[in-house]
Structure 1
């Protein structure tokens, strides 16, 4: 074969190889494109399945994020066995104590399952009526016991039955009479008259009890002022909505002293849990959106704040100068707080769990396995709940560390195969990215595993929002935060809010401003034991009006 012919064949072969290479690249590109489309469709399918399940639960099922424990246990056991060398975490330990030292790489320590909740015993029969209620006694006599025939009858006993009845709320006109006196024959000594009693709101027609009733009705019972206006009119006491609004603004302006003192005291707390929810603020053209924030400081205070925008400046300003733990979700609104203040971030396992719960409809097996791991952490938390803080820290660390190590291995393995944008992939990514804050509960036994406490407190605003729809202005939102902070803190400390607000409104006008923290719900029971506070309440004419003792 001559050289020209050979060269022609080589050129033809190279051309064919180049064409094959281009075809290969084209097919490879199409394959990647189809793979990407497949993954996108799979992601959309999983998201649609998750939304469908969410709507189905919203319409027909319970909203609580509950899973059948048997299903969770099966999936969890399979994962633990697959890890190799690890014994099931579900195995129960009887009375034997686990070894004090566990060599690395050995089996996970056995522990008892979470204590089963004791079944509540439901009392049978009619519920006894409260003893403090006034009694209206009615005696019914048979016809034979009336008139002349009653002489021949002897009363040998009686049958007594009690019924709970309602009658309209009582209003009273408080007429304060201040007689004037003058010395006979000595007009130069002038007129003697008792000074007018100091009212919480100067020149106001409402007493502290009625003002407290308006505040509790609006902010504890979620009755907007326009509904209260109709109720008062029905009961024969017409009160304009604008009048009620003025009372709310003036009274919360006075109560602000107490809430501000509570806010300063809250910065001494060991841990502050935070959360936020949106609220509509009335505007001329269109309602704009504002935000209510809640801060739960240990078991001391529940405080609410309002900001017109959901920005990082809010949390930083609220906790400026605070040094301690901050329990919150993983929202980026807290990043500036973590960077600029000397606080320690604590993660929320309820938010972590929620992502896996939402993945049940699209990836049930892996979601159940993750829920099993998280369920074990909550079981350990429940078992150690009654221990002193130091002992609880030690036991938490000993029991939860093997579970967390196994969970982390599972997360790292599944992250390699799960689609990043799928529901299960996002849940896995959340857990891995938040791993340090999520495991911070091991450092201190006083730390909670989740932020559910602050979310429950925010339900006050969510329930109220369904009734009053929006706040009239930023100033109205501030009134809301003051009243709700005191009412929520009252519930935290087991105090009846109407009696508390009534007595605080009596005391506040002449109470020393440097002692205003004593009037907060945290210290209220101690304050009532002081002679000074009790004497001030007894001297007030407003304390004589109620049929119940002050702050009962």
Structure 2
């Protein structure tokens, strides 16, 4: 009996050991599978970055196939999306976020077709006539000819930019026979920067070239030398600093006015700040306040203090991604968080390589939301709120059921699990757009504005100092706001620099791009501009 008991015990121990080994092997297999999936995703990102397009293209047929199957399963389970939820998003119907298309070339059907042929030149361009006579009209035979008409062909030509020596002459006068009356002379006109060599037009040109066209000052220095004038980088930098100081109160007034906006979109991007040992890391932030202002800010650190300081006292909607830097803002300020469906879609797109079936189904739900959003875009806000909510709620309900079901089945820590977890964790913020028809589904508008800094960063690589970053944020705020309101930035900055010197500080918000067109119609602004010689400076003749 003892021998049998010993043998039985030995067999049971071996079985337990084998089960433990099997469990460990299964665990290791799962872990290696996760590593394989993550490596596959990183490899696909690298391939797309090097060889392919960065746009998140998805085959609409593949998406619709997976989406239809999910809708049918949900319908049989009792979760009924609206009848339009099974309709495939049509090409060009706005079924994808801005900058994201459902398939290569998928938006061509709804895109406006531009006429082919030679472009008609703008009427505002200066005209130079060059008359070509036939040989018969150049000699004595011309007396026998009668001019009966002409044929005109136009060519677009370039004349190089040029500097102008603007001489402001102030004649002196004295009273005849009364020398005791002294000398009469006009006052020195106010200059945007006292004792500065540059006029407001040149100052505005330097600012626009650096912050709108992304030309660093050392490149501008070389360009000016080719045009026959040496202006050192240190001189140009001094001009930029002085202009930024003059324009800072205007941007500050814009920031205060933005606190009354209905919704503010916020995002951030990194930037290098030059230092002695090595460059430090800083961050540019952008805040898009409705259709009123675009504001840039700089902070040395990417933490929760920045957004809280920018929006202190604001009461309204804040649209942002799910970064933890906004936690203090949403916790302590009286703001309402609005999520970004473009970020959610991107996470499902990143899971396409490891789990295309579920990722395609999720993208199908999101595309349907964008289709509903575009279909109601032209409606007034109140009607849009109602109709968009009516159409989107069934789709969201079906999507929520699908997310909760797949969350139980997805491999932990896998890309699809991360995407599903993001959508579930951010569900309240992601569905906030149902409350108000003025709210957008995504935060793409702030990401697009940040491209100004991202493109510039590829040219100037780093900012020279914290002060340089502040100058950047001030001037780019005005240039971006000009683009928002369809204002030409060079003329705006030139006139704003002229007016700021004598403009009442309590009315400085009137000089913001939001109010600029109306301000120029006011008698006060026209008189102030007419009182200075700068706007009357004649244009340089073509060389």
Q: Does 2:101 match 1:110?
A: no
Change (3 A) 1:259 1:145: same
- In structure 1, the residue matched to 2:17 is 26
Other-structure match for 2:101: none
CA 1:443/1:16 → structure 2, altered by over 3 Å: closer, same or farther? farther
The answer to whether 1:285 aligns with 2:285 is: no
8 Å Cα contact 2:273-2:280 kept in structure 1 = yes
Per-residue deviation at 1:13? 5.3
> How much has 1:445 moved relative to structure 2?
0.9
The superposition leaves residues 420-463 of structure 1 with CA deviations (integer Å, 9 ceiling, x where unpaired) of: 21111111111111111111111111111000000000000000
SS in 2 for 1:522: helix
| Residue equivalent to 1:455 | 447
- Counterpart of 2:369 (choices 373, 377, 390) is 377
Residue in 2 that maps onto 1:341: 333
User: 2:79 touches 2:398 (CA, 8 Å); kept in 1?
Assistant: no
What is the match of residue 478 of structure 1? Answer: 470
Contact 2:81–2:398 under 8 Å retained in 1: no
Aligned residue among 52, 57, 72 for 1:66: 57
SS of the residue corresponding to residue 501 of structure 2 reads helix
How far, CA to CA, are the matches of 1:411 and 1:105 in structure 2? 13
Aligned pair partner of 2:74 in 62, 73, 83: 83
Residue 50 (str. 1) matches residue 41 (str. 2): yes
Q: Is the 8 A contact 1:420 1:429 kept in 2?
A: no
8 Å CA contact 2:71, 2:81 repeated in 1: no
Instruction: Report SS of the residue matched to 1:542.
Output: coil
Deviation at 1:192, TM superposition (A): 1.5
Following superposition, the deviation at residue 155 of structure 1 comes to 1.4
Higher CA-based Rg? 1
CA distance in 2, matches of 1:546, 1:443: 55
For 1:440-519, list aligned pairs within 5 A. Answer: 440-519=432-511
The CA deviation at 1:122 is 2.1
Contact 1:85/1:107 (<8 A) preserved:
no
Equivalent of 2:319 in 327, 350, 354:
327
Counterpart CA distance in 2 for 1:152 and 1:181 is 61
Q: Which residue of 2 aligns with 1:223?
A: 215
**In structure 2, C-alpha distance between the alignment counterparts of 1:458 and 1:270, rounded to whole Å:** 21
Distance, in Å, in 1 between the alignment partners of 2:11 and 2:307 is: 62
How far apart, in 1, do the equivalents of 2:39 and 2:425 lie?
25
Counterpart pick for 1:235 among 227, 231, 236: 227
**Shift in Å at residue 398 of structure 1?**
0.8
Q: What secondary structure is seen at the aligned counterpart in 1 of 2:409?
A: coil
- Alignment match, 2:304: 312
Per-residue CA deviations over 1:189-244 (Å, capped at 9, x if unaligned) read: 33211110000000000000000000000000000000000000001111111110
Contact 2:349 2:363 in 1 (8 A): yes
**CA–CA distance in 1 between the matches of 2:209 and 2:306?**
29
Question: Structure 1, residues 20-76: CA drift from partner, whole Å, max 9, x if none?
Answer: 443343233222211221111111111111112212222222111121111100110
How far apart are residue 186 of structure 1 and its match?
3.1
TM-score (norm 2): 0.93
Q: Which residue in 1 is equivalent to 2:29?
A: 38
Contact 1:46 1:422 in 2 (8 A): yes
Aligned to 1:360, what secondary structure does the other structure show? coil
Match of 1:152 in 2: 144
Of 232, 249, 261 in structure 1, the residue corresponding to residue 241 of structure 2 is 249
Of 120, 125, 129 in structure 2, the residue corresponding to residue 137 of structure 1 is 129
> Is the partner of 1:354 in helix, strand or coil?
helix
Give the Cα separation in 2 of the matches to 1:27 and 1:190.
Answer: 113
Partner of 1:3: none
Cα RMSD after superposing both structures: 1.6
Counterpart CA distance in 1 for 2:325 and 2:445 is: 19
Give the 3 Å change call, closer, same or farther, for CA 48–196 of structure 1 in structure 2.
same
1:533 aligns with 2:525: yes
Instruction: Give distance in 2, aligned partners of 1:235 and 1:317.
Output: 45
Q: Which runs of 5+ in 2 are unaligned?
A: 94-108
Contact 2:303 2:325 (8 Å CA) reproduced: yes
Deviations 1:271-318 (A, max 9, x none): 100000000000111011100000000000000000000010000000
Per-residue deviation at 1:107? 5.8
CA contact (8 A) 2:341 2:430 kept: yes
Measure the CA separation in 1 of the matches of 2:323 and 2:15.
Answer: 46
Distance 1:82 1:106 in 2: 10
Q: Does residue 210 in structure 1 map to residue 184 in structure 2?
A: no
What TM-score results when the alignment is normalised by the length of structure 1? 0.92
Alignment CA distance shift 1:46-1:472 (3 Å): same
CA–CA separation in structure 2 for the residues paired with 1:461 and 1:16: 75
Report the counterpart of residue 99 of structure 2 in structure 1.
none
Moved more, 418-427 or 13-22: 13-22
Residues 72 and 372, structure 1, Cα contact 8 Å, conserved in 2 = yes
Which of 431, 442, 465 is the aligned partner of 1:439?
Answer: 431
Helix, strand or coil at the partner of 1:211: helix
